[in-house]
Structure 1
Amino acid sequence: MSNPKRPEQPANLARRNFLGAAGGLAVAAASVGAAAMAPVAEAAANPAAAPSDKEPFWGQHQGGIVTPQQRYTCFAAFDVTTNKRDELIEILKHWTIAAARMSEGRPVYPLDSTKDTEPPADSADVLEISPARLTITFGFGPTLFSKEGVDRFGIARRRPQALVDLPRFNGDQLAADKTGGDISIQACSDDPQVAFHAVRQLARLAYGKADMKWVQNGFTGDGSKGTPRNLMGFKDGTVNPPLNDHAALNKLVWVGSEGDWMRDGSYMVVRRVRIALEHWDRSPLDFQEQVVGRHKYSGAPLGKLNEFDAADLDAADSDGNPIVPDNAHMRLASAAANQGMQILRRGYSYNDGANFTAERWPPWRQEVEFDAGLLFFGYQQDPRTGFIPINHQLAKLDIMNQFITHVGSGIFACPPGAQPGSFIGATLFG
């Protein structure tokens, strides 16, 4: 390139209203995709050389799906307020550049790209902090393709058949301000400040063109010490397909050639599940284990010794009763009970303080309780054969329902990863 400084100083991005600079952005995106992103491309090609605190952004698949799970997440759903296709594409290009830079531990744009009289290029709250394996995963909701019957961006005909509207499940008490959205962003990192910073910067870049609809932070245990536990105290994610089993991932998680522009992408369902912790904490240990279908401390299926022992769903006690109850969560969610279907869980706990609530089941307490629970993310090749039938069964029969309530929800098509010089969602708009 004639100007090696170009990737560090994309044209027109220093302006206060830089989202209007479509021409400058196109040049900047191409530049970032070359010299500025060379270290990321090199690390992706040679994983052994990749720094342990960095995850590659560019690639066949988006990061944050089969990436070994980080300890913290910040999830945000956005509603696009512009009705102009070019401005939507422009937002995605800005987000792509910013996400790639932040995953390397760099500011959104170079700090010298703005004048002192203009807002800074980056909020600067993580300048000296490692990216801590930051990944940023983008998804497109059904309402991005059409809303209230209006095809705002000329893409309604390209809405994937698998991107269905989620049905109302038995027991759902979904809050409108924690449900849906045109575009989702999930930032994951081993540092909570880094994850929040990423979402904050992307929200700032889209100001005036896309508004945040809802945001939820989450946390989990240290996965290097074994399967993390959720707030119920049980290990969460034991039966996930192995992340190094490419055949299983191609069958269960990644979209194939049938997906057209979604090939190498995945479908994500997010559910905000409130847990009545006060009710749960007063329940006897043996009852908790029957609810889950596993021993609490070892994580083993009931009747087994080790966490990863195969569950024997046909085993019965001396009275002929099943060792794993018919309405146990583990039984109803198992592949054996769902025609072999699995999804990839990336669950996080959340704790949003406390508020007044009324329990759904006896003793029907009405009091101030923890607003805490599970932020469930499920990735799959097709939600019509994955999450939807599995959750229909759980919603109707799972004994755990006396302790949990689904209060937030969303479904998003997560496109394939971006290649250097391109942007997230390019296959949709091509």
Structure 2
Amino acid sequence: MSKTSKQARGRVGTSASPGTSGTSGPGPGTTDSSPGVSRRRLLGTAGAAGATGLVLGAGGGAAGYAATRPDAPAALTSIGATEAMFHGKHQPGITAPLQARGHLVAFDLVAGASRKEAAALMRRWSATAKELMAGRPAAGGSDGPGHDTGIALDAGPSSLTVTFGFGRTFFARTGLTAALPAALDPLPAFSSDHLDAKRSEGDLWVQIGADDALVAFHALRAIQKGAAGTARVRWQMNGFNRTPGTTARPMTARNLMGQIDGTGNPKPADEDFDRRVFVPDSPGTPQEWLAGGSYAVVRRIRMLLDDWEKLPVDHQERVIGRRKADGAPLSGGTETTEMDFDKAGPDGRLVIPDNAHARISSPEENGGAAMLRRPFSYHDGIAEDGTPDAGLLFVCWQADPFRGFVPVQRKLDRGDALSRFIRHESSGVFAVPGGAAEGEYVGQRLLES
């Protein structure tokens, strides 16, 4: 690989904070035009050459497309070349910038699978994640159940991250109840809940994110295949975000309501960021295995878009408490200006209403409670009545959900103006161990304790 190619290969999480996308996405905003060729690109070229007869016989299919493109094929762009690191203090996919494509999947251990089988599964999954995140095939060989599918053969790492977590039921099924954290207690019920038990919770949880849809799906298939004989899929959901580089300047992402979403996220530069997001070290305790980890609360939130879109924009803005155009608080300033909750308009009414979502969910209104939101939007088709099954795959990270998610959601539940336009349809809480050190697999400190 040339020097230029090496420089283009950034590391996720160093150039933008979660909740942002655009030209400051996961890697430099330039195109790598060096002669360096990735292993996947070389393999893809060789495969195309070997299939020449098939292409020529297609009468202008793939060959016609390539011949009519205005430019010669370029080298891998910075988006495709960006690589996230598998090993580290924390697992990948927590503080990384939002990715364009995501898959969330939960598994239950099959009957008869014990701690030994669970450890073997996590070892396989970790090895697979490490290879895929580096842009390499999932496994060697050309046949057998473990061979790579070739789905992402021509792509680079594309900021792929794979993150693993354990649900409450995992501990009883593996004989590890002594290590069960209190923070994995069931969440309380909320009035906006319409939860489907079949699409909630699970023994194991995996979050996959990438800036290329094929790379993300490739990882999903590899994880699913790696679970065969040990765990079965309980539920699976697909999500998306804006692709990095599609805006003229770095911008916070928008959700399907058109609102800028993620402005109030804690930032890695904040003095108390680690304290809010990551579990502290607790040597000598049953939860020592969780050091450097976090808790993920996962909620599928359906947006009632037909009702929402009937509101005039100024009404939508009062529901949220921020301007739709630029995310600035209704009290004035820019997106990052601190909200003035006491400011009143000429009519004497509060500029940011008492029941505005941004007011009720702010740390200032919740005793400092905060969480790192890192969601994906989703769209699962249109119902017979014409309503879209669309919304948010809400994923938030915190050191303790009963000090992060729960107090905020309780307050939202009591009077959030947004509640009439959303419906929580599934839920799960997962303990996410710290990152694996070199030579370790994720969860090893729990499963081999």
TM-score by structure 2 length?
0.78
AA in 2 matched with 1:266: S
1:420 paired residue number: 438
Whole-angstrom distance in 2 between the partners of 1:388 and 1:162: 11
1:223–1:120 CA distance, 2 compared to 1 (3 A)? closer
Q: Is 2:106 the partner of 1:77?
A: yes
Whole-angstrom distance in 2 between the partners of 1:336 and 1:223: 31
Match of 2:170 among 110, 120, 144: 144
Secondary structure of residue in 2 paired with 1:107: coil
Whole-angstrom distance in 1 between the partners of 2:146 and 2:440: 25
Match of 2:267 among 242, 247, 261: 242
Match of 2:341 among 305, 310, 313: 313
1:223–1:339 CA distance, 2 compared to 1 (3 A)? farther
Number of residue pairs aligned between Structure 1 and Structure 2: 367
2:241 paired residue number: 220
Match of 1:402 among 415, 420, 424: 420
Contact kept, 8 Å, 2:268 with 2:274, in 1: the verdict is no
Secondary structure of residue in 1 paired with 2:429: strand
Whole-angstrom distance in 2 between the partners of 1:101 and 1:119: 17
What are the superposed Cα offsets for residues 273-293 of structure 1, whole Å, 9 maximum, x if unpaired?
001111111111111001111
Q: Is 2:354 the partner of 1:326?
A: yes
Q: Is 2:286 the partner of 1:262?
A: no
Whole-angstrom distance in 1 between the partners of 2:207 and 2:339: 33
Q: How many Å apart are 1:111 and its aligned residue?
A: 2.9
Whole-angstrom distance in 2 between the partners of 1:166 and 1:294: 29
Match of 2:134 among 90, 99, 104: 104
Query: What is the 5 A alignment of 1:3-402?
Result: 52-81=81-110, 82-112=112-142, 114=143, 118-119=144-145, 121-146=147-172, 152-222=173-243, 225-245=250-270, 247-258=271-282, 259-355=287-383, 367-402=385-420
Contact kept, 8 Å, 1:170 with 1:392, in 2: the verdict is no
AA in 1 matched with 2:232: D
Q: How many Å apart are 1:120 and its aligned residue?
A: 5.4
AA in 2 matched with 1:198: A
Q: How many Å apart are 1:154 and its aligned residue?
A: 1.6
Q: How many Å apart are 1:165 and its aligned residue?
A: 1.0
Q: How many Å apart are 1:392 and its aligned residue?
A: 1.1
Secondary structure of residue in 2 paired with 1:174: coil
Contact kept, 8 Å, 2:369 with 2:407, in 1: the verdict is no
Whole-angstrom distance in 2 between the partners of 1:120 and 1:184: 21
Unaligned runs of 5+ in 2: 1-5, 16-26, 28-77
What are the superposed Cα offsets for residues 103-157 of structure 1, whole Å, 9 maximum, x if unpaired?
0111111135x4xxx34511111111122010001010111112xxxxx312011
What are the superposed Cα offsets for residues 2-25 of structure 1, whole Å, 9 maximum, x if unpaired?
xxxxxxxxxxxxxxxxxxxxxxxx
AA in 2 matched with 1:209: T
Identical residues among aligned pairs (%):
40
Q: How many Å apart are 1:72 and its aligned residue?
A: 1.4
Whole-angstrom distance in 1 between the partners of 2:154 and 2:346: 62
Q: How many Å apart are 1:408 and its aligned residue?
A: 1.1
Whole-angstrom distance in 1 between the partners of 2:194 and 2:298: 15
Provide the aligned C-alpha RMSD in A.
2.0
Whole-angstrom distance in 2 between the partners of 1:270 and 1:283: 28
AA in 1 matched with 2:138: V
Unaligned runs of 5+ in 1: 1-38, 147-151, 357-366
2:70 paired residue number: none
Secondary structure of residue in 2 paired with 1:111: coil
1:223–1:169 CA distance, 2 compared to 1 (3 A)? farther
AA in 2 matched with 1:403: F
Whole-angstrom distance in 1 between the partners of 2:308 and 2:329: 20
Whole-angstrom distance in 2 between the partners of 1:374 and 1:420: 35
1:120–1:93 CA distance, 2 compared to 1 (3 A)? closer
Secondary structure of residue in 2 paired with 1:203: helix
Whole-angstrom distance in 2 between the partners of 1:239 and 1:286: 21
What are the superposed Cα offsets for residues 173-204 of structure 1, whole Å, 9 maximum, x if unpaired?
01122211111100110012211221211111
Contact kept, 8 Å, 2:211 with 2:244, in 1: the verdict is no
Contact kept, 8 Å, 2:211 with 2:243, in 1: the verdict is no
Contact kept, 8 Å, 1:222 with 1:228, in 2: the verdict is no
TM-score by structure 1 length?
0.82
AA in 2 matched with 1:330: A
Q: How many Å apart are 1:223 and its aligned residue?
A: 5.4
Whole-angstrom distance in 2 between the partners of 1:410 and 1:140: 10
Secondary structure of residue in 1 paired with 2:413: helix
Contact kept, 8 Å, 1:185 with 1:199, in 2: the verdict is no
Secondary structure of residue in 2 paired with 1:350: strand
AA in 2 matched with 1:94: R
AA in 2 matched with 1:400: L
Contact kept, 8 Å, 2:321 with 2:356, in 1: the verdict is yes
1:192–1:244 CA distance, 2 compared to 1 (3 A)? farther
